[in-house]
């Protein structure tokens, strides 16, 4: 492939493709990487340059690119059938996958509804919750509580429970009316406490919202432990325990959106199931196919499913579908992904990697623009600030995070900071040696971009 071809492909891209979350001016000055192939934690562009996939291609990849077992699972299914609709038809990969998911999820969850991405897995949970209350004679329960900093996808329903103005603002007037609650903010804890020793003293606003609004609230939705799009904001499980108790008292559903944190990212397979946490709905996607194919799954309880027990005339069934729901190729790869995740004590093998990432904390904390280094399992983040002492942020016009991203590209790292939060969310198979490379190179990029 000559450079002329590369140029012409980028020109064609510029004139015909609309890329997500990409300002046009950025695309002009920094054209997208033209990726040709992947191998393990690395991606290679057309010129053969190698880039480490530091953020797992938007948080989806668990086992690296071009994995022989995932490739084989896909090819085997491809030789049988690529796709069939999922109403009036079923297939082995979906049946196997549902069984495996349920065997790994907390025991209160007994049904799996398949869709085809993270936003749809959330939409399904929201709609099921609403329709459940309608069908059990509580039609007034029709809004959701959500947290500041929460993110659950981009469709209008999911945006209606989003706590981030960046995503909501243009659509504010057409979103469903829900209840936004100040969520945990360990970075600037109003009580001056630190995670680990606190008792979620910040739970007050949620407690009040649930008490006061119980009669009209259908459910409360959270990203457990890590609010990804908010900038990898982290909070302790004690908040979720309090939420579980308060939600039970208020008779509202709990919706865990583990689209980002599910499948081992926090060190556990799911947050649901740890510490006795038992959500009513568990939304999954991203890592479910280790980044191979789109798939969503919404798990729920038998009581929810039972409320949809009706014939055609009653209309008590879930009238919601996606053409690619439970796609057989995606389901087959997901089964193999779960096999990889659960054999040879894979999750226990993450512990030294989690420790290796954490060992870099002091090397970041010593830098003058590190407001915080935080970590939950295989997810770590550095909050870039103008002044470490006061934590005064950088002027947004400086685009400190973006400057670090550009340095990363020069040095073979694909990062994609969230504003001024540089984060690490690598494929789980990253080796200890690759972790050193990732953390050291990222630190160099930050110094290059921001000074020392």
Ligand X SMILES: Cc1ncc(COP(=O)(O)O)c(C=O)c1O
Q: How far is the CB of 333 from ligand X (least distance, A)?
A: 16
* Residue 64 in contact with ligand X, rule: CB under 6 A: no
Q: How far is the CB of 58 from ligand X (least distance, A)?
A: 7
**Gap between the Cα atoms of 34 and 315, Å rounded:** 49
* Residue 288 in contact with ligand X, rule: CB under 6 A: no
- Look at residue 109 and give its three-state secondary structure: strand
**Gap between the Cα atoms of 154 and 9, Å rounded:** 29
Nearer to ligand X, 116 or 301 (CB): 116
* Residue 256 in contact with ligand X, rule: CB under 6 A: no
Q: How far is the CB of 152 from ligand X (least distance, A)?
A: 5
* Residue 257 in contact with ligand X, rule: CB under 6 A: yes
* Residue 259 in contact with ligand X, rule: CB under 6 A: yes
Nearer to ligand X, 364 or 405 (CB): 405
Cα separations in angstroms, 37 against 2, 20, 71, 76, 207: 17, 21, 14, 21, 49
* Residue 336 in contact with ligand X, rule: CB under 6 A: no
Q: How far is the CB of 154 from ligand X (least distance, A)?
A: 6
DSSP letters along 167-215, please?
HHGGGGGGSPP-EEE----STT-TT---TTT---GGGHHHHHHHHHHGG
**Gap between the Cα atoms of 247 and 251, Å rounded:** 6
- The residues in 80-119 that bind ligand X, with binding defined as CB under 6 A, are 117-119
Cα angle at 352 between 101 and 431, to 5 degrees? 85
Site track for ligand X across 214-233, x = CB under 6 A = ---------x----xx----
* Residue 285 in contact with ligand X, rule: CB under 6 A: yes
* Residue 153 in contact with ligand X, rule: CB under 6 A: yes
Could you say which of 230, 255, 260, 445 contacts ligand X (CB under 6 A)?
Answer: 260
Asked if 278 and 315 touch (Cβ cutoff 8 Å), the reply is no
Give the residue carrying structure tokens 């009316």. 177
Q: Which residue is nearest to ligand X (CB)?
A: 118
Cα separations in angstroms, 13 against 4, 44, 335: 14, 18, 35
Q: How far is the CB of 117 from ligand X (least distance, A)?
A: 4
* Residue 61 in contact with ligand X, rule: CB under 6 A: no
**Gap between the Cα atoms of 41 and 433, Å rounded:** 12
* Residue 122 in contact with ligand X, rule: CB under 6 A: yes
Nearer to ligand X, 122 or 382 (CB): 122
Residues that bind ligand X (CB under 6 A): 117-119, 122, 151-153, 223, 228-229, 257, 259-260, 285
């Amino acid at each position: 492939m000559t450079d002329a071809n590369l140029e012409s492909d980028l020109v064609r891209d510029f004139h015909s493709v609309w890329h997500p979350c990409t300002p046009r001016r950025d695309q002009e000055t920094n054209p997208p990487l033209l990726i040709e192939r992947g191998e393990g934690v690395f991606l290679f562009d057309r010129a053969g340059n190698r880039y480490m996939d530091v953020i797992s291609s938007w948080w989806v990849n668990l086992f690296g690119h071009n994995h022989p077992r995932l490739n084989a699972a896909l090819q085997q299914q491809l030789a049988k059938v690529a796709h069939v609709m999922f109403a009036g038809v079923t297939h082995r990969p979906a049946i196997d996958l549902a069984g495996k998911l349920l065997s790994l999820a907390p025991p209160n969850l007994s049904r799996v509804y398949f869709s085809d991405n993270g936003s749809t897995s959330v939409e399904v949970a929201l709609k099921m919750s609403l329709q459940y209350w309608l069908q059990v004679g509580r039609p007034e329960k029709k809004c959701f509580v959500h947290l500041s900093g929460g993110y659950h996808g981009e469709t209008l329903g999911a945006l209606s429970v989003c706590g981030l103005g960046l995503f909501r603002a243009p659509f504010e007037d057409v979103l469903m009316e829900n209840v936004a609650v100040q969520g945990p903010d360990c970075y600037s804890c109003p009580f001056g406490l630190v995670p680990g020793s606190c008792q979620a003293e910040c739970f007050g606003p949620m407690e009040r919202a649930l008490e006061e609004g119980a009669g009209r609230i259908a459910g409360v939705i959270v990203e457990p432990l890590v609010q990804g799009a908010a900038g990898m904001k982290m909070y302790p499980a004690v908040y979720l325990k309090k939420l579980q108790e308060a939600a039970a008292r208020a008779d509202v559903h709990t919706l865990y959106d583990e689209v980002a944190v599910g499948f081992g990212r926090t060190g556990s397979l799911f947050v649901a199931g740890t510490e006795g946490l038992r959500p009513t709905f568990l939304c999954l996607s991203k890592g479910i196919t280790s980044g191979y194919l789109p798939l969503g799954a919404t798990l729920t309880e038998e009581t929810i499913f039972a409320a949809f027990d009706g014939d055609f005339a009653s209309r008590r069934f879930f009238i919601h579908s996606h053409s690619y729901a439970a796609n057989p190729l995606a389901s087959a790869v997901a089964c193999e992904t779960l096999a990889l995740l659960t054999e040879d004590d894979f999750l226990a093998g993450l512990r030294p990697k989690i420790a290796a990432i954490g060992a870099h904390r002091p090397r970041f904390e010593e830098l003058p623009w590190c407001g915080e280094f935080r970590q939950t399992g295989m997810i770590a983040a550095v909050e870039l600030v103008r002044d470490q002492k006061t934590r005064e942020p950088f002027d947004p016009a400086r685009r400190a995070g973006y400057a670090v991203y550009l340095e990363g590209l020069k040095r073979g790292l694909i990062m994609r900071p969230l504003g001024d939060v540089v984060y690490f969310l690598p494929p789980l198979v990253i080796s200890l040696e690759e972790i050193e490379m990732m953390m050291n190179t990222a630190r160099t990029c930050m110094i290059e971009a921001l000074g020392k």
